[in-house]
Amino acid sequence: MNETKIPTAKEIADLINGNGSRYYDDKAKGWTGNGFSRIYFGRDYVTIENDGECHSNGPKARAQTIGQSAVDLVEDALELLVRMESSN
């Protein structure tokens, strides 16, 4: 994803929610920080680095309790948005 605009956390969360996807029966909520973003599902979250890498590894226990299926869900939404952006 070099030289490609990484979608915002809000754009990713909106796509996930628009597709009716849920994790823990919670809607996704996007948060953008300095150097990374997070997609929250309830209190747990997936981190998105500025280079587009998604993971659930973090210094706080809330990141480590989320499952790989949530990471996959965020990665799929991110990849779809990047493809849509590059086709414009």
pTM summary value: 0.82
86 falls within a domain: no
Question: Beta strand 28-32 with 36-41: parallel, antiparallel or unpaired?
Answer: antiparallel
Q: First vs last Cα of the chain: how many Å apart? A: 16
Reported as a single tens digit per residue, the pLDDT across 49-65 is 988 899 887 666 555 66
Task: Establish if 63 belongs to a structural domain.
Answer: yes
The dihedral sign for the CA sequence 14, 19, 23, 24 = positive
Asked if residue 2 is part of any domain, the answer here is no
- Domain membership flag for residue 67: yes
User: pLDDT tens digits, residue range 9-25?
Assistant: 999 999 999 988 877 78
Helix 9-18 / helix 68-86 crossing angle, nearest 10 deg: 100
Domain that holds residue 68: 9-80
With respect to residue 1, please indicate whether it lies within any of the assigned structural domains: no
Number of residues in the chain: 88
How many independent structural domains does the chain possess? 1
In-domain check, residue 4: no
Distance CA 9, CA 22 (A): 16
